[in-house]
Chains A and B, each alone.
Chain A
Amino acid sequence: MKNQLFIFSLILVLGTNLFAQSLDINGYVRSYLGVLTNDTNDYSINQNTLDLKLKRVDDNVSFFANPYLVQTPNQDVRLGLREAYMDVYFNNMDLRIGKQQIIWGKADGMFITDIVSPKDLGEFLLRDFDEIRSGITSLKANYFLGDNTVEMVWIPTFTPTKMPDETSIWSRIPEFPLSITIDESQKEIPGRLENSEGFVKFSGMSSLLDYEIMAGSMWDDDPTLHIVPIITVDNPTPSGLMLIPIHHQLTLVGGSFSSELGGVILRGEGAYYMGKQLSALNPEQLNLPTSLLEKDYAHYLIGTDFSIGTTRLSTQFIQRAILDYDDSIIQEELDNTMTFLANRTFLQETLTLQLFGYFGLNNEDALIRPSLTYDLADGFEINAGANIFIQNEDSENIGQFGYYDDNDMVYVKVKYSF
């Protein structure tokens, strides 16, 4: 830890001395406290964050770094580097080299074509936008043709979705009828050229329509669980299950659009994924989920943004459909989700009231997120809110939101941006 603090201090010294004339330093300090509303009243989160954004721009080059420190009481201080990249600007082309977040698509809070940067689900979906995506070391090239852009991304080393720690309240371990053992020996994707990922996007902006068309060859950010029954020579009946998470390769094509029609913004996004490995029940092994079936699936949404008076509203309908479906597959053939957002400001935009919700239509579960933000002064805000998980106990399955029904919480964040 001392080494980490030394590096962080070095960054600060470099920032304030070597580049003092032209280094742009911004960031924020934030205190964040969340309390579970169940019987325990445990703190769901209690942390202080220092987030720095360092930027220097010269004529045709620039660099940007976003180091951060997170301090949790009675734990070591955690140092991270969200992004650190260099830009090179040409007449019609930009190059970005280094660790960077790459965000695609027109959806809000959903990941359909926005799959270049992996997710950090350490706190499920509750983190702020810039914290829920992990930076990836990559080379990004943008070539500009008027209001159209060709973007190509090469990611030499695969980075998976970051899952919660096993002890976290956000950890989710699948339930099986037998005891399980987890073997993570095959989870790593070796860093070599043939294991790199590539994406390409063609996008355009016009008065009528904004659009993106994309394709990618990638590793599935979420590993497939290969489930092997544990049997002995003496007893052919499985005594347990070995879970072996393995990332498989995926190919996808997709696109998105956004347009205004009569004061209403219409948005759409969709992707066709080829070669997804899906767990399925195996009738030859006591109907345990030990089979894998390779299927294609489609993931798409339609959404609108509009205003009623001074209240801004947004809603999205999202569907994931497994094609050539087999009844043995554990996931449902169609998975439907909706989102809803309402936002209104008061007192010359110093007070913001917001309500955001995810609604799982298959299992009638939800995550409701009301919040109130007050700007005490320029750059200084207090944000209080709640994260309410709803589960329908009559539903056959537990949805991704209903699973955390015991994790309802209230929180307060105090943030000073500089």
Chain B
Amino acid sequence: MKILKSKLTIFALISGLIFAQDLSGLEVIQNVYNRPTGNDMTGNLVMTIENSRGNQRVRKIKQYLKDFGKDEKKIMFFLSPADVKNTSFMTWSYDDESKSDDQWIYLPALKKVKRISSDSKGDYFMGSDFTYDDLGDRHPMDDTHTILREEVMGGKETIVIESIPKDEEYMYSRTVTWVMKDTWIGLKKEFYDEDDDLLKILTVDAQKSFGDVIILTKVKMHNIQRNQFTIMEFSNVEIDKGIPNNKFSERMMKRGI
């Protein structure tokens, strides 16, 4: 269930006690990508966006995720602020690399569900410092991965991986990820812009275990160049509660939570 790892848990990984020294950079990232997870997940997301002047804006979202075979479906209901309340956003993601995500948005003022393009992954999500691609499930084969070194971070042993995109038009020139050896969790990730200057740093501030599944419950994306950041906090997480299939439908987008 790559959905959970990528979209909700944001770089969360589950235990995979493979000894890292024998692995290539690609294999480390594939372990991250292919880790086993639950079949479905719900939770509340609070997103706090702070600009360089210290002004904060807060967005609250209820999310549902579910695997459908190798594919996944996700639906988000916006709870606040008031001017976006009852807006919903649905994504169907596919394991097939050649197939783009399908995305729809329901705007209460329009009272209809609109299909929108999934081609704007470089756009920022709700004005935050996360792009849609940052929140998404980037396939390991999209980048060339190299192990730079091993490093102890906060008392945890990590492997530092540099990932260079094969697509030269990609929004980042490279990323560097600190992956924990024992749990395959990405503790930190640096994003470099097209001039190879450091653009953003993602850090993990809290995590929680649900059996074998580890969810990152608090992450922070700091835009170094703009001196602003976004914190995502995840609460009321439930795993494998049996979300009905029809939750991911036009009917529910209109009806709401």
- Report A's interface with B, CB cutoff 8 A: 26, 28, 87, 89, 94, 101, 103-106, 128-130, 142, 144, 147, 149, 203, 205, 207, 210, 258-260, 262-265, 305-307, 310, 312, 345, 348-350, 377-379, 381, 415, 417-418
* A129 engages B250 (CB within 8 Å): no
With both beta carbons as reference points, the residue of chain B lying nearest to A206 in the complex is identified as B102
Contact B250 A147 (CB under 8 A): yes
User: Please, how many angstroms separate the alpha-carbon atoms of A283 and B11 in the complex?
Assistant: 77
Q: B7 at the A/B interface (Cβ < 8 Å)?
A: no
Give me 29 A-to-B residue pairs in the complex whose CB atoms sit less than 8 angstroms apart, sorted by A's number.
A94-B251, A106-B114, A129-B109, A129-B111, A144-B246, A147-B250, A205-B104, A205-B249, A207-B99, A210-B104, A210-B115, A258-B114, A258-B115, A260-B117, A263-B100, A263-B118, A307-B120, A348-B49, A348-B51, A348-B57, A348-B124, A349-B126, A349-B127, A378-B57, A378-B80, A378-B81, A378-B82, A415-B83, A418-B82
Contact A306 B117 (CB under 8 A): yes
Bound-state Cα–Cα, A94 to B120, Å = 34
Instruction: Tell me the minimal C-beta distance from B251 to chain A in angstroms.
Output: 6
The interface residues of chain A lying within 8 Å CB-to-CB of B85 are: 26, 417
By a CB distance below 8 angstroms, the chain B residues around A349 are 124, 126-127
Q: Are B116 and A305 touching (Cβ within 8 A)? A: yes
Count, A-B residue pairs, CB within 8 A? 102
Does A260 contact B127, Cβ atoms closer than 8 Å?
no
What B residues does A129 contact at CB under 8 A? 109-111
Contacts of B15 in A (CB 8 A): none
Which one, B57, B111, B117, B124, contacts A265 given CB within 8 A? B117
Q: Are A149's CB and B251's CB within 8 A?
A: yes
Interface check B228, CB cutoff 8 A: yes
Chain B residues near A89 (CB-CB < 8 A): 255
- Of A142, A260, A345, A378, the residue contacting B251 (CB under 8 A) is A142
CA distance A418 to B119 in the complex (A): 33
Which positions in B face A, CB cutoff 8 Å?
Answer: 49, 51, 57-58, 80-83, 85, 92, 94, 99-100, 102, 104, 108-120, 122-124, 126-128, 228, 246, 249-251, 255
Q: SS class of chain A's interface: helix, strand, loop or mixed? A: strand
Q: How far is the CA of A312 from the CA of B115 in the complex (A)?
A: 14
CB atoms of B111 and A130 under 8 A apart: yes
A263 to B119, CA, bound (A): 5
Q: Report Cα–Cα, A207/B91, bound state, in Å.
A: 10
> What residues of chain B lie closer than 8 Å to A144, measured between beta carbons?
246, 249, 251
**Chain B residues with CB under 8 A of A417:** 81-83, 85
**Minimal beta-carbon separation of B183 from chain A (angstroms):** 33
Inter-chain CA distance A260–B104, complex, in Å, is 11
Do the beta carbons of B81 and A205 come within 8 Å of each other?
A: no
CB nearest to A257 among chain B residues: B115
* A265→B115 contact, CB < 8 A: yes
Q: Which of A129, A210, A348, A349 neighbours the largest number of chain B CB atoms within 10 Å of its CB? A: A348
Cα distance, A378 to B113, chains bound together (Å):
24
Question: In the complex, what distance in Å separates the CA atom of A228 from the CA atom of B128?
Answer: 64
A378-B57, A381-B83 known; A263+B109 contact, CB < 8 A: no
User: A104, A203, A378: which has the most chain B beta carbons within 10 Å?
Assistant: A378
Which B residues touch A415, using CB under 8 A?
83
Residues of A within 8 A of B251 (CB): 94, 142, 144, 149
**Chain B residues with CB under 8 A of A381:** 83
15 other A-B residue contacts (CB within 8 Å) besides A94-B255, A379-B81: A101-B111, A203-B250, A207-B94, A207-B102, A210-B104, A263-B119, A305-B116, A307-B123, A310-B122, A312-B120, A348-B228, A378-B57, A378-B58, A417-B82, A417-B83
Closest to A100 in B: B111
Of the listed residues A260, A310, A350, A418, the one surrounded by the most CB atoms of chain B closer than 10 A to its CB is A260
Let me know if A103 and B82 touch, CB within 8 A: no
Smallest CB separation, A51 vs chain B (Å) = 11
Expressed in whole angstroms, the Cα–Cα distance for A129 and B110 within the complex equals 6
Tell me if B117 and A307 are in contact (CB < 8 A).
Answer: yes
Inter-subunit contact B92/A264 (CB<8 Å): no
CB-defined contacts of A205 to chain B, threshold 8 Å: 104, 113, 249-250
Instruction: Tell me if B117 and A263 are in contact (CB < 8 A).
Output: yes
CB-CB nearest in chain A for B99: A207
What's the Cα separation between A158 and B80 when bound, in Å? Answer: 37
In angstroms, Cα B104 to Cα A106, docked, is 13
Indicate if the CB atoms of B118 and A260 lie closer than 8 Å. Answer: yes
The 3 closest A-B pairs by CB, nearest first: A263-B119, A349-B127, A378-B81
The smallest beta-carbon distance between A211 and chain B, in angstroms, is 11
Q: Is the CB of A260 within 8 A of B102?
A: yes
Assess whether A260 is in contact with B250, with CB atoms less than 8 Å apart.
Answer: no
Residues of A within 8 A of B250 (CB): 147, 149, 203, 205
On whether A260 and B80 interact (CB within 8 A), knowing A130-B109, A205-B250, A350-B127, the answer reads no
